[in-house]
Structure 1
Amino acid sequence: MGSLLSYSGLSTKIRAMQRRLIDIPQFQEISQMTSVPQVVAYLKKQPGFEKLWADLDENTLHRGEIEHLLTHTIYQNFTRIYHFSNPKQRTFLALYFKRYEISIMKDCLRKIFDHREATLDLSIFKEFFDRHSQLNISKLTASGTIEEFINNLKDTEYYAPLSRILNSPKEQPLLFDYGMALDQYYFAQIWKVKDKLFKSVDLKEMTQAYGRKFDMLNLSWIYRSKKYYQMSHAEIYALLIPVRFKLHKEEITALVEANDMDEFGKLLAQTYYGRTLDDMTPENLENEYNYVLRSILEVEARRNPHSVAIIYSYLYHKEHEVDRLTTAVECVRYGVPPQETMEHIMKN
């Protein structure tokens, strides 16, 4: 009864927000459009965007601004859920929010590694991050070197993992190294604190969702590292999230040290995911990762609508809506045929 009472109002709110997400028929309409302003004008009339974008002039927006505006709708909806949540629900949202901090930091890191002279303009997100985060967006976006960037994180939890990369024996760490350090830190933190933050149904759902997510990410990283980058065993082990859910240590070792892709495929087929997923092949790992996470969240949100699953499921689908819209805008911009545009959209 306590869970029902604590989640009933929030569940109603989120279900209303879910109905405003762009669906497949609407994406098909967008794929037929011939200009980016036409796409923006269309979105301005949709329930999920009309209040947020009412004052925009679609004819003056450039590509970067549209991408930021789309991302901003995620943050705006996150804030709506946060304001409607009780302290227990905000515990999950605070943990989830770290993925947005990491996304912002990766944008800043890309600017530094690309040697872009212009300051990265993320000012549209400043109010949101000032409210929810310790990150100083202004300082981070103005950072010109990796040393300056990390120094500007000194009073945050991200300083230590990034400092270790900066000061590691490896000569000139790459953008990839810093991005992986952030991801690994975030994932390890989730697994470390979940038992303290969640109880009962919420704990079970978080364990299922994140456990399978981390397993699938590790499988994908092992595959890509061997297939495309010919990385050493030690380098692959260093990439992996230090969490095992349905994968055994011996299976991970065998996959990392497989002699070739044929052996990797045979070993993958013997894992829990290879036995339970019909289309589980090395080449289809990314699609299966998306399928596994989406399926878990949708099933749990239906089975337990008065639980943390309803929050996680909505945010997952909202982020994928934005990914698909970003893809759609790019396809329309370059005149990609509608059928091909839909193929790109459906891959997200």
Structure 2
Amino acid sequence: MTGFLSLGERTAVGAKAHVFFGRLLTDESYWRLLHCDTVREIVEYLKSLPGFAPYLLSVSPEIHRAELEDVLEMLPLRETLTFLGYLTGGQRAYVRCWIDLYEADLLKRTMRSLFSRKQDREQLRQRFALIPKPSFSSETLLSSRSYEEFLEALSGSGYYRVLREPLAKLSDEGGSLFSAETAVDLHVLSALFRAAGKVDSCNGAGILSLVGTMVDLLNVSWLHRSARFFDMHFEEMLNRLLPVRYRLGLAFLRKLSRAESPEAFWDLLRHSCYGGALGESLPKEDFELETRIKQHLWRQARQLFRRSGIGFHSLVAYLFLRRYEIQDLKTIIEDVRYDFDRREALLFMVRPIVPGGERAWRW
């Protein structure tokens, strides 16, 4: 078996992705949502849209903000699962790794539940039920009462190896979940990158470029945050990076880790292969570089989607775009719920919602 999709399978996957793409929020929809005064109004409006109505039919208009965000976060996963029946070989393996991003998020939430003893485990149980053929027993995991039991529940999965050391240290010395959560992220994101490199389709290069760019820029983001918020030796910063590389090699990342100031860091980045993509000016706010990174990935995913023909690349690009759409929705919901200045929401949003990407406000 070569793992190639037949013409009919490629057409089915691509056509379905194009249908879903057509249901993404429009500029008009974003403005309508930004003009809502309550979370209830947001729910009622989303229920009128084809991209959300099937998933929100049973949702009460009085739903709490956090509960609504939980429902929305799982929509991309629900949609992803509808494609599995069309996929084989490398394409199916890639989508399985994409699903693992959601499995990993639930794993981290469960760790936080164990750490704080405040998380609603029934809600986690319902979410785990969406993961097809999980690599561990979610029921055993949810019943764990110590980090030792938690780790044992992961025995046989890839998570066991990467979490053994940070959980043992946490159990012995206490501290935060930072190292454990980082280990989970590195594990699933590295697997996604490797799967993208193995996708055996004519559009594989575009897929690898998108995922590879994400890997590179996540490493840049981590070094930027480490330099600003954590007192780390540069070698420790490098040890916490993703163990895979695309266009930014270890030598360049080492230079970034040794940058003596934000200006020096930015000057290095500006002259790299990603310099122009992230803007010419030094980010002024802490969140600004991460927003620029997401905006660049959004643009690249949209370009990949618009490539000639329809096929597996259409699905990969759509999944990126839908994920960012949900992130933007969460930003809007929180802005409305806490009655923040709607102009502020635009600063955090990934998708430009006016022609040309201009960030001007309009009423």
Change in 2 beyond 3 A, CA 1:43/1:320: same
- Please give the residue correspondences for 1:103-252 in structure 2 after superposition, counting only pairs within 5 Å: 103-116=105-118, 119=121, 121-129=123-131, 131-167=132-168, 171-172=173-174, 174-195=176-197, 197-252=198-253
SS at match of 1:208: helix
Give the whole-Å Cα distance in 2 for the aligned partners of 1:116 and 1:127: 21
Residue 303 (structure 2) pairs with residue 299 (structure 1): yes
- Please give the residue correspondences for 1:18-33 in structure 2 after superposition, counting only pairs within 5 Å: 18-33=21-36
Question: In the alignment, residue 248 of structure 1 is paired with which amino acid?
Answer: G
Residue 73 (structure 2) pairs with residue 71 (structure 1): yes
TM-score by length of 1: 0.88
Gaps in structure 1 of 5+ consecutive residues: none
SS at match of 1:272: coil
Partner residue, 1:102? 104
Q: Is the CA contact (8 Å cut-off) linking 1:72 and 1:124 kept in structure 2? A: no
Alpha-carbon shift at residue 87 of structure 1 (Å): 5.0
Alpha-carbon shift at residue 344 of structure 1 (Å): 4.0
Q: Is the CA contact (8 Å cut-off) linking 1:166 and 1:173 kept in structure 2? A: no
Change in 2 beyond 3 A, CA 1:191/1:48: closer
Residue 24 (structure 2) pairs with residue 8 (structure 1): no
Aligned residues: 345
Q: Is the CA contact (8 Å cut-off) linking 1:236 and 1:256 kept in structure 2? A: yes
Question: In the alignment, residue 112 of structure 2 is paired with which amino acid?
Answer: R
Change in 2 beyond 3 A, CA 1:243/1:306: same
Q: 1:52 aligns with which of 55, 70, 85?
A: 55
Deviates more, 1:68-77 or 1:84-93: 84-93
Question: In the alignment, residue 39 of structure 2 is paired with which amino acid?
Answer: V
Partner residue, 2:320? 316
Residue 43 (structure 2) pairs with residue 40 (structure 1): yes
Q: Is the CA contact (8 Å cut-off) linking 2:270 and 2:280 kept in structure 1? A: no
TM-score by length of 2: 0.84
Once the two structures are superposed, residues 279-338 of structure 1 have per-residue CA deviations (whole angstroms, 9 ceiling, x without a partner) of 364655323321332232222222254343211111111112221222222222212243
Q: Is the CA contact (8 Å cut-off) linking 1:205 and 1:309 kept in structure 2? A: yes
Give the whole-Å Cα distance in 2 for the aligned partners of 1:88 and 1:117: 36
Change in 2 beyond 3 A, CA 1:153/1:302: same
Change in 2 beyond 3 A, CA 1:338/1:191: closer
Alpha-carbon shift at residue 117 of structure 1 (Å): 6.7
Partner residue, 1:288? 292
Alpha-carbon shift at residue 173 of structure 1 (Å): 5.4
Q: Is the CA contact (8 Å cut-off) linking 1:3 and 1:306 kept in structure 2? A: no
SS at match of 2:227: helix
Question: In the alignment, residue 245 of structure 1 is paired with which amino acid?
Answer: Y
Question: In the alignment, residue 268 of structure 1 is paired with which amino acid?
Answer: L
Residue 323 (structure 2) pairs with residue 336 (structure 1): no
Change in 2 beyond 3 A, CA 1:317/1:191: closer
Q: Is the CA contact (8 Å cut-off) linking 1:268 and 1:281 kept in structure 2? A: no
Deviates more, 1:72-81 or 1:244-253: 244-253
Q: Is the CA contact (8 Å cut-off) linking 2:263 and 2:282 kept in structure 1? A: no
Give the whole-Å Cα distance in 1 for the aligned partners of 2:300 and 2:351: 18
Give the whole-Å Cα distance in 1 for the aligned partners of 2:133 and 2:255: 42
Change in 2 beyond 3 A, CA 1:181/1:297: same
Give the whole-Å Cα distance in 1 for the aligned partners of 2:235 and 2:45: 50
Give the whole-Å Cα distance in 1 for the aligned partners of 2:175 and 2:48: 46
Q: Is the CA contact (8 Å cut-off) linking 1:110 and 1:175 kept in structure 2? A: yes
Deviates more, 1:280-289 or 1:245-254: 280-289
Change in 2 beyond 3 A, CA 1:7/1:159: same
Provide the alpha-carbon RMSD of the alignment: 2.8
SS at match of 1:245: coil
Q: Is the CA contact (8 Å cut-off) linking 1:215 and 1:246 kept in structure 2? A: yes
Question: In the alignment, residue 263 of structure 1 is paired with which amino acid?
Answer: A
Alpha-carbon shift at residue 17 of structure 1 (Å): 1.0
